[in-house]
A and B are shown apart, each in its own frame.
Chain A
Amino acid sequence: MTASPKPWLLLLVSGAASALCYVLLFANEKEVMAAFTRTDGWYPALPVLTAFLFSLVHGACTGYFWEVLGVVPRPAGETTDVKLEE
């Protein structure tokens, strides 16, 4: 396993940003649902843009989470995905 320093700070920052996204979503649940289910103008883009934002922020957080726990991929070159012609 890698012995590089663990990204605690990055986890804390991305975790806080991710938590903020979820707090904002659920604290304003009614307003969000009213706007996100509108079918006029650019409103239908809101769910898609929100999903992108959450994937970016929460995706970074979950990545650092596993890294901090020490669950990291096996270094490249050690995997054996070789193909053989029959």
Chain B
Amino acid sequence: MSGESFIVLAPQSVAFLLIVGFIGGLVSGFIGSGGAFVLTPAMMSLGVPGVVAVASNLCHKFPKALVGAYKRHKYGQVDLKLGLWMALTATPGMWWGAGIQQDIRRLYGEAGSNLYVSLAFVIVLAIVGSFVLRDALRSYRRTYRNSALEQTSRLAQWVQSVEIPGTMVRFRVANIRVSVLFVLPLGFATGLLASSIAVGGFVGVPGMMYVLGASSLVASATELVIAFVMGLGGTLNFSLAGLVDIRLAMLILLGSLFGVQLGAIGTTFVKPFMIKVVMATVMLIVAVSRALVVPVYLAQLGVMALEQTSMRLLERASFALMVLALASGAFLIVAAMARGYRHA
């Protein structure tokens, strides 16, 4: 791509990227992922070509994840070994997902590709988000009845009980001993989702919690290690094609490093169920947001009829809801932090 294809940055665009970067960083530092689903369309709304927006988002993601992971490692929350095992298959998962995307684009065009991404968002986030919300509510009740205890799910108890000789690994920080034959597919699914909806953590974090039995604090912190590896690999890939707009990436990073540090600090002040509450809230609002644009893509594919004005309205409503998802997450984090700070 030639240098002329990159946008001229106006002051209001810079301010917009700084603010969205800060909020995205705050959510990422707290729940291990998030922000990309708003940042990529936000950059596109400024006139940045889609592929450059994806590439530039990845280029800010891995340094942000690095800083977040380092910070949370200092708090004793990161299981580096678990993160690296997950990342081992997350990268092939990302490549495979990118291949599926390209096949769909070739067969059904841009609208088909967008429909696939939106349906992936709606199905995955509605199922996983509802599950996380249900668990968050149970944890909330338990927290105030007893103490801040997190229960290991029945599935995770079973996974931990399965002994497959030669594959068992102890993850010290997560305080679990499981077969890597369970860890590797989970990493692959995280990468696959990351390539489709840019937020692999929406599968990675719940997977580490409910399948492997890691606590929400450790799972969300460890996700930052996976995000770093995937972001680094993805950036190199796009950089080889000359598609990274370093100005955009570093501008987002400027705000996001303030946010990611604040989010990481926040995890030391809140009850563990708050991580689940924030994650479920963001996931479910994003699911609704993406569901709104499904009719638009169906209309573009000729499956149903829809007027241009209705299409524009749905697209705007969808984007507004995505911003709301991120803002709600940030509000919940700051409110929980303030509460925790007062009681500290």
Q: Which residues of A contact B (CB under 8 A)?
A: 1, 22, 25-26, 29-30, 32-34, 36-39, 44-48, 50-52, 54-55, 58-59, 61-63, 65-66, 71-74, 76, 78-86
How far is A79 from B272 in the complex, measured between Cα atoms in Å? 9
Number of residue pairs across A and B with beta carbons under 8 Å? 145
B290 within 8 Å of A by Cβ? no
Q: Please classify the interface of chain A as helix (H, G, I), strand (E, B), loop, or mixed, using the class held by over half of its residues.
A: helix
Known A65-B258, A73-B268, A84-B152: A39·B344 in contact at CB below 8 Å: no
State whether A83 touches B250 (Cβ < 8 A). no
Which of A32, A74, A76 has the largest count of B CB atoms less than 10 A from its CB?
A74
30 A-B pairs with CB atoms under 8 Å apart are A25-B247, A26-B247, A32-B247, A37-B2, A38-B242, A39-B240, A39-B241, A44-B239, A47-B235, A47-B244, A47-B246, A48-B59, A51-B249, A52-B63, A54-B63, A55-B64, A55-B257, A59-B63, A59-B257, A62-B257, A66-B258, A74-B268, A76-B75, A76-B76, A79-B217, A80-B272, A81-B150, A83-B150, A85-B152, A85-B157
How far is A65 from B259 in the complex, measured between Cα atoms in Å? 11
State whether A83 touches B247 (Cβ < 8 A). no
Q: Which residues of B contact A (CB under 8 A)?
A: 1-3, 6, 59-60, 62-64, 66-67, 70-71, 75-77, 147-154, 157, 175, 213, 215-218, 232, 235-236, 239-247, 249-250, 253-254, 257-258, 261-262, 264-265, 268-269, 271-272, 340, 344
How far is A29 from B239 in the complex, measured between Cα atoms in Å? 17
Q: Which residues of B contact A34 (CB under 8 A)?
A: 3
Q: Which residues of A contact B240 (CB under 8 A)?
A: 39, 44
Tell me the smallest distance from the CB of A23 to a CB of chain B, in Å: 12
Q: Which residues of B contact A76 (CB under 8 A)?
A: 75-76
Tell me the smallest distance from the CB of A44 to a CB of chain B, in Å: 4
State whether A36 touches B254 (Cβ < 8 A). no
The residue in chain A whose Cβ has the minimal distance to the Cβ of B174 is A83
How far is A29 from B262 in the complex, measured between Cα atoms in Å? 30
State whether B246 touches A25 (Cβ < 8 A). yes
Q: Which residues of A contact B64 (CB under 8 A)?
A: 55
State whether A33 touches B265 (Cβ < 8 A). no
Q: Please classify the interface of chain B as helix (H, G, I), strand (E, B), loop, or mixed, using the class held by over half of its residues.
A: helix
State whether B250 touches A25 (Cβ < 8 A). yes
Q: Which residues of A contact B235 (CB under 8 A)?
A: 47-48, 51
Tell me the smallest distance from the CB of A21 to a CB of chain B, in Å: 8
State whether B239 touches A84 (Cβ < 8 A). no
State whether A51 touches B253 (Cβ < 8 A). yes
Tell me the smallest distance from the CB of B318 to a CB of chain A, in Å: 30
State whether A86 touches B157 (Cβ < 8 A). yes
State whether A54 touches B253 (Cβ < 8 A). yes
Known A36-B244, A39-B242: A59·B67 in contact at CB below 8 Å: yes
Q: Which residues of A contact B157 (CB under 8 A)?
A: 85-86
Partner of A30, one of B3, B59, B148, B271: B3
State whether A86 touches B154 (Cβ < 8 A). yes
Known A48-B236, A86-B154: A81·B242 in contact at CB below 8 Å: no
How far is A47 from B253 in the complex, measured between Cα atoms in Å? 13
Tell me the smallest distance from the CB of B155 to a CB of chain A, in Å: 11
Known A44-B240, A59-B257, A71-B265: A83·B66 in contact at CB below 8 Å: no
Known A54-B250, A80-B271, A83-B151: A71·B239 in contact at CB below 8 Å: no
Partner of A48, one of B1, B239, B340: B239
State whether A73 touches B257 (Cβ < 8 A). no
Q: Which residues of A contact B258 (CB under 8 A)?
A: 62, 65-66
Q: Which residues of A contact B261 (CB under 8 A)?
A: 59, 62-63, 66
How far is A31 from B47 in the complex, measured between Cα atoms in Å? 21
How far is A22 from B3 in the complex, measured between Cα atoms in Å? 19
How far is A33 from B8 in the complex, measured between Cα atoms in Å? 12
The residue in chain A whose Cβ has the minimal distance to the Cβ of B2 is A37
Q: Which residues of A contact B213 (CB under 8 A)?
A: 83
How far is A41 from B175 in the complex, measured between Cα atoms in Å? 45
